[in-house]
Structure 1
Amino acid sequence: MMNIIPLSNNGFAMAGNLKKFINPRFINTIDLALMKELLARHEAELTDFSLDLLDQEEEEARTALHDLLTGSEDTYPEGLRADLHRIAELGDARGLEIIQAQAERQRIDLFPEMRRGDEDAPNKAHDPKHIAVRVFLEHLDLFDAAADHMALLTADRLHEYAGRERGVTVDLTEEKVEAFRAAVAALFRDAFLGDYCRVGDYVDDEEINLVVGHGSLVSTMPVVEGLKERVISVRQISHAVLRYSESTGMLRLARIRKAHQPEVAELFASIILERPGFFDGDDAQDLYTLRPIERAGSGFEFDARYDPLIDRILIVEAAADLMVPGKNGYPRVARTLRSRDLTGDALRHLTNTPVSFGDSWRLGELVFRILFKSEGKRQPQVTVKLRPPGVVQFRRTQHEARVMTLIERNGLMNDRDDFEVIDAAE
């Protein structure tokens, strides 16, 4: 009977999802042939470790694998760390669901030999971690697509740019995607001092999605090996997200530095749309307003009677800003009063404060929770943060269209037709 290998306390200190991914269960159950193939990608960089060690009896082979994965930097190449970080992002139940969805979309019959149920005993090869490793090694394009869609699903804080007109369609070609990749790579190379850059493009009805995988800044962390301290360097992969709607002319950016956003938007306009300056209008980021709520006062309630699936809406947080004259006559925030109430009365509580909208006070931010009708025990909900002029933040779900419709129908979205009339007059 094979011994179970515990992770030592003096091993390699890993951060975040990688520490959870490489645990005793993983080391004791992962297919050694898969690990040998993964390690072979970095064989030239491995020191004091031979792939032949994995050809020993299973217990000795797993001991060697344990010593490598929990050992020092000298036997743990940076490239291997990067691979494992990527695999860890998809090595859970949600990641497996995304992998399966992408396989179905690409019509890939993924591992048909595994679809045998549990005839004898639960198969460790069905573990999401094991499947993520295998897909990474055997279907890298599918793995990249799944990682991109994970980034799309988890991007919650989107910065939006409104184009100069609606209905501008995209003729997305490989040449355009490559030209955009090269331009963004040059921008990120200067910012993050790394060369890696990959762009995945995905069309979803009338929405164009681009996911840019790039190396983040190198970070260092101290680790302890025995009684000695080491400092190691890690460069993880970040995913920037761009989503463009042809019908509305709206470009949404996520996980992109604020300083880079205008340049990335212009690269998209000039290369992908072939419309330089498309997102340069004065109103490009003047998208949202809370003025209707200020006029209604503390008694404001969202009107969602048009949508039979919305149960109720709770205003759980409101921030009121006191504005005073700043430099060059532009107002600045002198102080902020923030009200929170999970029962939905956050806005009403401002009536017991010095806040008086319409004078020097303005509503700077609103957080509301939408609860949807459901037959299940747990009621689906989405929490939305709205901060004018250009930020709406919520976890993108199947209810995204409903959230945006609610915002628009309650007058919290600026009417861009007014701006178009002004532009035409000018």
Structure 2
Amino acid sequence: MSEIVPADPAQVDESREGTYQEHWFCRKGGFVVGGNLKKFVNPRFIKTVDLALMKPLLARHEGKYKGFSVDLLNQEEDAAREALEKLLTGAQDSYPEGLRSDLHRIAELGDARGLEIIQGQAARQGVDLFPDMKTGDEDAPNKAHDPKHIAVRVFLEHPDLFDAAADHMAMLTADRLHEYAGRERGVAIDLTAEKVEAFRTAVAALFRDAFLGDYCRVGDYDDDDEINLVVSHGSMVSTMPVVEGQVERVISVRQISHAVLRYSENTGMLRLARIRKAHKPEIAELFASIILERPGFFDGDDAQDLYTLRPVELAGPGFTFDAAYDPLIDKVLIIEAAADLMAPGKKGYPRVVRTLRSRDLGGDALQHFGSTPVSFGGAWRLGELVFRILFKGDGKRQPQVTVKLRPPGVVQFRRTQHEARVMKLIERNGLMNDRDDFEVVDAAE
């Protein structure tokens, strides 16, 4: 499949920059439920979950229910589960916002991937999860081993472990990172609890002004030479009409968002994800001044001038990636490219007046520009490149990573065990600016 798609100039900036959003409400059977809650709080879960777990979970919000009491779970099991089903599958305004938030957080870790992360964090912290639970299957499989049930139990009995697992999930799913290069490499961090709390206080004030909410939590994690911070905070309140029977109500919800910061001591690079564009420079400076104790560390002229597509432009439609140095890379397919026609804008700065986008899942996206007016030697420039790296593997499905590169500072792909290989491929093919050149210029000036 291949196509060249003209883009509306009015939409170019929006489509390129984007915002991080999660649309998580859907209408079902006369009431509104969250998308991941709909899958999580399903009939099988309600029929099998240990009521002894649900009691303390629901008791966290006792006194805030409408037409429900935790005491209803003390009835005979069938009646108790019927009351639980009526609560959890009814309109979401029938239970408090705090419970909605708890269930959404649990749902994020209530699957096989979440269980793997929970187990990994438990091993890292030396926590023996539930030694009382049967681990074998001599009899019927133990329903308590269901990832959903384990997520509930960890949430209640090991809150610190749960927070760490939720933060790790946020780091794994943060695929779009905006990067800042520090003024020098090799700047180590002496991370203390006092620094983390000072950073949390400063970021909380920023998010309070932006989202009008007070909740803010920071988790910090070491990963070899990387320091990872995950900032959990409330997003904007959303209000929406819901239907309960024949009655229409309006409820409000505040979703929890996870901002991710990753700093490499070796390279001096700070990577930010799930943060508003307007907040990124300020948060980078807060990190520099509080965590690094180096104000202005990410303010250099080359701080965001990290990537270039100039080698691709010079080679033209025939450009191909050289991956021969890596025996694990099978091939690299260029599946999408965006060519921007530039013209002088306000104050003489160039602006995009037209975009041609070529897509070809077979890997020939660049070659299709040969039959168009695009010529990278003139007013046209290559604004974005999407390529798919296929790795050699033994399974039926070949491991692969899809990467979007948009100069000067955005590289986007789902972070996997192949992250180092992806970045090396970008560097080896000349798509990463050499920061040493900027350092020489700075020294000369």
In 2: Cα distance, 1:74 partner to 1:158 partner: 36
1:77-156, aligned counterparts within 5 Å?
77-156=96-175
In 2: Cα distance, 1:9 partner to 1:196 partner: 30
Q: Deviations over 1:87-106 (max 9, x none)?
A: 00001111011001000111
Task: Tell me by how many angstroms 1:397 deviates.
Answer: 0.2
Task: Tell me by how many angstroms 1:116 deviates.
Answer: 2.7
8 A Cα contact 2:32 2:92, kept in partner = no
8 A Cα contact 2:33 2:91, kept in partner = no
1:269-348, aligned counterparts within 5 Å?
269-348=288-367
Q: Is the counterpart of residue 66 in structure 1 residue 66 in structure 2? A: no
Which of 384, 387, 394 is 1:365 aligned to? 384
8 A Cα contact 2:92 2:100, kept in partner = no
In 2: Cα distance, 1:236 partner to 1:250 partner: 29
Q: Unaligned 5+ residue runs, structure 2?
A: 1-26
Counterpart position of 2:412: 393
Matched length: 419
1:285 partner letter: Q
3-state SS of paired residue (1:293): helix
User: Is the deviation greater in 95-104 or in 226-235?
Assistant: 226-235
Q: Deviations over 1:182-235 (max 9, x none)?
A: 000000011111111000000001000000000111112221111121111111
Counterpart position of 2:38: 19
Task: Tell me by how many angstroms 1:48 deviates.
Answer: 2.4
Task: Rate the CA distance shift 1:400–1:73 in 2: closer, same or farther, 3 A.
Answer: closer
In 2: Cα distance, 1:301 partner to 1:10 partner: 52
Q: Is the counterpart of residue 212 in structure 1 residue 235 in structure 2? A: no
In 1: Cα distance, 2:67 partner to 2:129 partner: 36
Counterpart position of 1:403: 422
3-state SS of paired residue (2:280): helix
Task: Tell me by how many angstroms 1:73 deviates.
Answer: 4.9
Q: Is the counterpart of residue 75 in structure 1 residue 94 in structure 2? A: yes
In 1: Cα distance, 2:427 partner to 2:322 partner: 11
In 2: Cα distance, 1:192 partner to 1:124 partner: 40
In 1: Cα distance, 2:111 partner to 2:135 partner: 21
Which of 64, 67, 70 is 1:48 aligned to? 67
2:199 partner letter: F
3-state SS of paired residue (2:322): coil
Q: Deviations over 1:149-185 (max 9, x none)?
A: 0000000000000000111000000000000000000
Counterpart position of 2:21: none
Task: Tell me by how many angstroms 1:139 deviates.
Answer: 0.3
Q: Deviations over 1:339-375 (max 9, x none)?
A: 1100100001110100111100111100000000011
In 2: Cα distance, 1:173 partner to 1:280 partner: 24
In 1: Cα distance, 2:221 partner to 2:64 partner: 35
3-state SS of paired residue (1:264): helix
Q: Is the counterpart of residue 202 in structure 1 residue 221 in structure 2? A: yes
Q: Deviations over 1:31-61 (max 9, x none)?
A: 1111001011001312322221101110000
Task: Tell me by how many angstroms 1:12 deviates.
Answer: 4.1
8 A Cα contact 1:163 1:278, kept in partner = yes
In 1: Cα distance, 2:260 partner to 2:227 partner: 11
Normalising to structure 1: TM-score of the pair? Answer: 0.97
User: Is the deviation greater in 208-217 or in 14-23?
Assistant: 14-23
8 A Cα contact 1:288 1:387, kept in partner = yes
Q: Is the counterpart of residue 175 in structure 1 residue 194 in structure 2? A: yes
8 A Cα contact 2:306 2:433, kept in partner = yes
- CA root-mean-square deviation: 1.2
3-state SS of paired residue (2:33): coil
Which of 338, 350, 361 is 2:369 aligned to? 350
Task: Tell me by how many angstroms 1:283 deviates.
Answer: 1.2
Normalising to structure 2: TM-score of the pair? Answer: 0.92
8 A Cα contact 1:318 1:365, kept in partner = yes
1:96 partner letter: L
8 A Cα contact 2:343 2:350, kept in partner = yes
Counterpart position of 1:38: 57
Task: Rate the CA distance shift 1:117–1:215 in 2: closer, same or farther, 3 A.
Answer: same
Counterpart position of 2:9: none
In 2: Cα distance, 1:403 partner to 1:103 partner: 29
User: Is the deviation greater in 143-152 or in 11-20?
Assistant: 11-20
In 1: Cα distance, 2:411 partner to 2:164 partner: 26
Bigger relative contact order (CA 8 A; separation at least 6)? 2
Task: Tell me by how many angstroms 1:379 deviates.
Answer: 0.6
In 2: Cα distance, 1:401 partner to 1:174 partner: 30
Task: Tell me by how many angstroms 1:257 deviates.
Answer: 0.3
8 A Cα contact 2:65 2:94, kept in partner = yes
Counterpart position of 1:251: 270
Task: Tell me by how many angstroms 1:70 deviates.
Answer: 2.4
Counterpart position of 1:5: none
Q: Is the counterpart of residue 423 in structure 1 residue 429 in structure 2? A: no
Q: Unaligned 5+ residue runs, structure 1?
A: 1-7
Counterpart position of 2:251: 232
In 1: Cα distance, 2:424 partner to 2:58 partner: 49
Task: Tell me by how many angstroms 1:72 deviates.
Answer: 3.9
1:178 partner letter: E
Task: Rate the CA distance shift 1:398–1:9 in 2: closer, same or farther, 3 A.
Answer: closer
